[in-house]
């Protein structure tokens, strides 16, 4: 949820969906599979996570009229350079929050910065 918009990337085709109370639902075709979180800022979008070896993937894209067009792919790492391992993930608006084991602090990826 971001302000009055909720964003989702539902199983099985994983379209990007925007839901607002003041207008019809919008849907963009998307090729990124298995994301655990999504951040949106303007016409930019980032998906975090995926299946198997893509569990730490950050897949970036741009919104067109009908689809999410991929622009870049990277890996999310902790400040020490390691992979997060077991973690909790939530997202809201332009931010993806990750809490890695031992679950004592949250890290933030902010697409707007």
User: Which pLDDT value is given to residue 39?
Assistant: 97
- Cα 11–chain centre separation: 14
Q: 88 pLDDT band (50/70/90 cuts)?
A: very high
Over residues 30-81, the pLDDT tens digits come to: 999 999 999 999 999 999 999 999 999 999 999 999 999 999 999 999 888 9
Residue 79: the pLDDT is 85
């Amino acid at each position: 949820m971001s302000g009055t918009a909720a964003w989702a990337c539902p199983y099985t085709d994983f379209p990007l969906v925007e839901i607002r109370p003041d207008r019809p639902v919008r849907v963009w075709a998307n090729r990124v599979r298995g994301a655990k979180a999504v951040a949106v800022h303007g016409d930019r979008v980032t998906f975090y996570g995926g299946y198997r070896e893509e569990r730490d993937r950050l897949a970036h894209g741009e919104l067109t009229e009908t689809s999410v067009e991929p622009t870049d792919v990277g890996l999310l790492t902790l400040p020490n350079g390691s992979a997060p391992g077991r973690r909790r993930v939530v997202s809201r608006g332009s931010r993806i929050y990750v809490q890695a084991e031992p679950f004592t602090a949250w890290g933030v990826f902010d697409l707007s910065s």
